[in-house]
């Protein structure tokens, strides 16, 4: 592939709901450009951008893939993104690397959950958008209905620049409302261009007038001509349309069938003709030394950002870079501002799915992949060391699902940790941690499918088998009254014996105070050398738990009396005596179980608020506040026991049709209801007896 200047580049993220045909559309683009020899199919596992074994097995995209192709003297960098909500982090990275978004919808299905989500995110970052209504050849395809949905949901700036010729089985081509030409695919798959058929003339004229009206609203000169009834030329209309698209006020609608490759060439032409060029883009960053705002134009010193990372067990790290200014050359050195280290650039490749094409250099605005950057991670800024700049890190969606992960084979704990660390490089939405109380190794993700695929990839790429299970809830124990208790350990049956004797006062402290040990011994009832053993026995026994095997907290233990034997007393004997006293004292002091309570903030469209609150009420939640925002989204704050939040991410997604999200953080511990506590205690006693 030859070198392309910034003016001859188009970077387009293909986004939309799952199963709307994004991958099939990208495949048709590669085929039309001659980058692949035949049209691959998702169902057959032959699509160029779905090449991971997990993608082929599940027949869905789980990772964004770069599909670069040469078209009419331009380089089109299509980024095929996942449509399943668990992989939205990849979509965000792709949108930040792209200059345009192509929102794909299914003609029979219309706007779906992820359509709204990706549109909102693209809108939030000010990205120009075009719409491609796909699957026009399918039964129940409804172009006019989908356009009406789009205008109702996303505003009057949504306007068709094409209309279909026929629907469903009768779909055979498109009419271009700017050039007023048709492109029809015959039964022999020949493409025929021509004028407007008489039976379509009235419909086409009405659609063109609508296009002129919408475009004129955002262009004063065109509006004046339109009002005065003057003729508007194709050039004037196209120029005004481009201006509206670049300012993200007009969103052109195209249509076709990726599967049958109808309307795809027209879409590719539209990407070249109407969508923004990276040449005019100014990138904003900060001075890494003083934080001052800096900007880079395409002709400036080199700078770029890593927006995606792949980790291959044999090749190593593969970094996808968007060059924001200057030129990136192979066999050169760049400076990683985030880690303050130089990195060597080896071979530079452009991707067509998994197929690589080597290039010598990449100009500003282009996208490439570089291998073996040793310490560079997703989101890092690379630049010329003599002209440093720091770009803002990518902010990924919060992980809402927490599961415990454990190896199937003993001794593989370190292998799991190493594999997960590498996989986190690929997917920054994964969070790893360990619960110090339960010893569970925890993995956080966006959803169940994402975590299931993590397990599959670990086995395939790193040979480590693991399983997911519900994490143990870190309950705690405490007491409610003060007691005085004796502990005596005596074993004197000949020879050197054991003797330890203590009197302890045990009393509850304020919640969150922790455990405390003091001694108020008088007259040497317990010699000073044995008091550390009593203290150690106290804390070890409290940590091990008494009632149900969970740590005892917020307790004060005072050593008040005891006795010893000149020959038989030892540190071990006093530790054992202390443990006996603690266990007996806790059971006498009205012990209770405490459960962790989390502050949960849920955001979902306002019309789901009642369902969400009803669901929370079944989970022993305490609703602290609810409010509705100007954009129609509802916000619910509640305190919920951690035990009730198992797989809540999946439940909330089902409850809100994928529109709800939540965040949670630890709040406090509170007493567990008696009936639930009894079940946990009985389970503990049963396991202990086995």
Residue 512 has pLDDT above 80, yes or no: yes
485 and 563 belong to one structural domain: yes
Both 445 and 582 in one domain: the answer is no
Please give the residue range of the domain that contains residue 295: 283-383
CB-based contacts of 369: which residues, under 8 Å, 6+ apart?
66, 318, 319, 320, 321, 348, 349, 350, 351, 356
Comparing 56-70, 85-99, 340-354, 410-424, the range with the smallest average pLDDT is 410-424
Residues 153, 238, single domain; the answer is: yes
Q: Is the distance from CB of 429 to CB of 394 less than 8 angstroms?
A: no
DSSP state, residue 257: B
Q: Are residues 169 and 222 in the same domain?
A: yes
Average pLDDT over the chain reads 92
Q: Looking at the structure, do residues 516 and 585 belong to the same domain, yes or no?
A: yes
209 occurs within a structural domain: yes
Beta strands in 435-577 (DSSP E): 441-445, 466-469, 476-479, 483-491, 498-508, 516-519, 555-563
Q: Which of 326, 348, 383 is the last residue of a domain?
A: 383
Write down the pLDDT at residue 116.
Answer: 93
Structural domain tally of the chain? 5
Residue 548 is predicted with a pLDDT of 93
Confidence of residue 186 (pLDDT cuts 50, 70, 90): low
DSSP structural state of residue 196: -
Residue 393 falls inside a structural domain: no
- pLDDT score at 332: 94
Confidence of residue 525 (pLDDT cuts 50, 70, 90): confident
Q: Kindly report which listed range (150-164, 212-226, 242-256) carries the lowest average pLDDT score.
A: 212-226
Can you give the CATH number for the domain in which 315 is found?
Answer: 2.40.30.10
Tell me the torsion sign for CA atoms 50, 55, 58, 63: negative
What is the mean pLDDT of the segment spanning 181-190? 66
Is 683 among the domain residues? no
334-363, pLDDT tens digit by residue? 999 999 999 999 999 999 888 899 999 999
**pLDDT reading at 192 higher than 80:** no
Q: Are residues 81 and 177 in the same domain?
A: yes
CA-based torsion, 428, 284, 131, 10: positive or negative: negative
Judge whether 522 lies within some domain.
Answer: yes
394 within some domain: no
Mean pLDDT for 447-462 is 93
Flag whether pLDDT at 189 surpasses 70: no
Residue 154 lies in a domain: yes
Does residue 340 share a domain with residue 266? no
Percent of the chain with pLDDT over 70: 99
pLDDT in tens, 466-504: 999 998 899 999 999 999 999 999 887 666 788 999 999
| Least confident segment among 156-165, 180-189, 638-647 | 180-189
CATH number, domain containing residue 413: 3.30.70.870
Tens digit of each residue's pLDDT (9 = 90 or more) over 85-117: 999 999 999 999 999 999 999 999 999 999 999
- 116 and 196 inside one domain: yes
Q: What is the pLDDT of residue 190?
A: 57
Which pLDDT does position 191 carry in this prediction?
67
Q: Does position 194 have pLDDT exceeding 80, yes or no?
A: no
Q: Which pairing describes strands 327-329 and 332-336: parallel, antiparallel, or unpaired?
A: unpaired
Alpha-carbon span 538 to 516, nearest angstrom: 9
- Strand 129-134 vs strand 100-106: parallel, antiparallel, or unpaired? parallel
524 and 613 within one domain: no
Of the residues 589, 608, 642, the one at which a domain ends: 589
pLDDT single digits (tens) 224-280: 888 888 888 889 899 999 999 999 999 999 999 999 999 999 999 999 999 999 988
Assign 188 a pLDDT band (cuts: 50, 70, 90): low
- Tell me: pLDDT of 374 over 90: no
Residue 554: per-residue pLDDT: 95
Q: Could you give the residue ranges of the DSSP H alpha helices within 513-647?
A: 531-544, 571-588, 609-617
Q: How far apart, in whole angstroms, are the C-alpha atoms of residue 653 and residue 631? A: 20
Query: Is residue 4 a contact partner of residue 74, using CB atoms and an 8 Å limit?
Result: yes
Q: CA 530, CA 534: separation in Å to the nearest integer?
A: 7
> What percent of the chain is modeled with pLDDT above 90?
76
CATH of the domain at 661: 3.30.70.240
Least reliable range by pLDDT among 324-328, 418-422, 481-485: 418-422
Query: pLDDT by residue (tens digit) across 539-594?
Result: 999 999 999 999 999 999 999 999 988 888 899 999 999 999 999 999 999 999 99
Across the range 512-531, mean pLDDT stands at: 90
Residue 227 has what pLDDT? 85
- Are 351 and 321 found together in one domain? yes
Note whether 255 and 132 are within 8 A (CB): yes
On whether both 602 and 569 belong to a single domain, the answer is no
Residue 414 lies in a domain: yes
**Position 222 confidence tier, pLDDT thresholds 50, 70, 90:** confident
Task: Indicate if the pLDDT at residue 281 is higher than 90.
Answer: no
Q: Domain holding 101: CATH number? A: 3.40.50.300
Q: Identify the CA nearest to 401 among candidates 435, 448, 441, 433.
A: 448
End-to-end C-alpha distance for the chain, whole angstroms: 68
Domain boundary among 568, 589, 610: 589
689 within some domain: no
pLDDT tens-digit profile of 595-605? 999 999 999 99
Q: Are residues 551 and 644 in the same domain?
A: no
pLDDT of residue 228: 83
């Amino acid at each position: 592939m030859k070198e392309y200047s910034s003016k001859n580049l188009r970077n387009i993220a293909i986004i939309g709901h799952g199963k709307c045909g994004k991958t099939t559309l990208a495949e048709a683009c590669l085929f039309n450009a001659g980058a692949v020899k035949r049209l691959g199919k998702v169902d057959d596992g032959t699509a160029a951008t779905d090449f991971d074994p997990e993608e082929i097995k599940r027949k869905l995209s789980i990772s964004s893939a770069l599909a670069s192709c040469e078209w009419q003297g331009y380089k089109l960098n299509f980024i095929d993104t996942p449509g399943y909500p668990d992989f939205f982090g990849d979509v965000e990275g792709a949108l930040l690397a792209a200059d345009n978004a192509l929102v794909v919808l299914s003609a029979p299905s219309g706007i779906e959950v992820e359509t709204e989500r990706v549109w909102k995110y693209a809108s939030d970052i000010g990205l120009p958008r075009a719409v491609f209504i796909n699957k026009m050849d399918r039964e129940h395809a409804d172009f006019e209905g989908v356009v009406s949905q789009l205008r109702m949901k996303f505003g009057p700036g949504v306007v068709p620049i094409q209309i279909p010729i026929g629907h469903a089985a009768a779909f055979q081509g498109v009419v271009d409302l700017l050039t007023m030409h048709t492109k029809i695919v015959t039964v022999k798959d020949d493409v025929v261009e021509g004028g407007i058929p008489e039976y379509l003339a009235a419909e086409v004229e009405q659609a063109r007038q609508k296009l002129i009206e919408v475009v004129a609203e955002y262009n004063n000169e065109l509006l004046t001509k339109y009002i005065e009834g003057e003729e508007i030329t194709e050039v004037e209309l196209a120029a005004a349309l481009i201006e509206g698209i670049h300012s993200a006020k007009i969103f052109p609608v195209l249509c076709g069938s990726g599967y049958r490759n109808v309307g795809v060439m027209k879409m590719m032409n539209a990407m070249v003709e109407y969508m923004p060029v990276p040449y005019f883009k100014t990138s904003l960053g900060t001075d890494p030394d003083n934080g001052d705002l800096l900007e880079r134009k395409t002709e400036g010193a080199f700078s770029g950002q890593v927006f995606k990372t792949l980790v291959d067990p044999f090749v190593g790290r593969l970094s996808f870079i968007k060059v924001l200014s200057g030129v990136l050359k192979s066999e050169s050195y760049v400076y990683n501002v985030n880690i303050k280290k130089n990195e060597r650039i080896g071979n530079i490749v452009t991707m067509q799915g998994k197929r690589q094409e080597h290039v010598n250099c990449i100009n500003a605005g282009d996208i490439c992949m570089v291998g073996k950057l040793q310490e560079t991670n997703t989101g890092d800024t690379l630049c010329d060391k003599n002209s440093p700049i720091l770009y803002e890190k990518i902010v990924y969606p919060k992980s809402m699902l927490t599961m415990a992960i454990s190896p199937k084979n003993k001794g593989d704990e370190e292998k799991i940790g190493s594999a997960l660390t590498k996989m986190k490089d690929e997917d920054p939405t994964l969070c790893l941690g360990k619960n110090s109380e339960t010893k569970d190794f925890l993995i956080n993700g966006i959803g169940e499918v994402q975590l299931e695929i993590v397990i599959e990839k670990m086995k395939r790429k790193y040979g480590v088998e693991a399983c997911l299970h519900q994490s143990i809830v870190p309950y705690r124990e405490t007491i409610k009254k003060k007691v005085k208790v004796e502990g005596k350990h005596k074993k004197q049956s000949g020879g050197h014996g054991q003797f330890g004797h203590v009197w302890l006062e045990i009393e509850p402290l304020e919640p969150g105070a922790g455990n405390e040990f003091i001694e108020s011994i008088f007259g040497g009832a317990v010699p000073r050398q044995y008091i550390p053993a009593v203290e150690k026995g106290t804390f070890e026994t409290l940590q091990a738990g008494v009632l149900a095997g969970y740590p005892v907290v917020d307790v004060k233990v005072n050593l008040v009396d005891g006795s010893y034997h000149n020959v038989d007393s030892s540190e071990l004997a006093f530790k054992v005596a202390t443990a006996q006293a603690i266990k007996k004292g806790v059971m006498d002091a009205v012990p209770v179980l405490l459960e962790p309570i989390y502050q949960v903030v849920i955001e979902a469209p306002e019309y789901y608020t009642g369902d969400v609150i009803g669901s929370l009420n079944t989970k022993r939640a305490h609703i602290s506040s609810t409010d509705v925002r100007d954009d129609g989204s509802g916000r619910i704050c509640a305190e919920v026991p951690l035990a009730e939040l198992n797989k809540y991410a999946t439940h909330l997604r089902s409850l809100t049709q994928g529109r709800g999200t939540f965040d949670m953080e630890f709040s406090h511990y509170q007493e567990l209801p008696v009936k639930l506590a009894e079940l946990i205690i009985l389970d503990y006693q049963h396991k202990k007896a086995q």
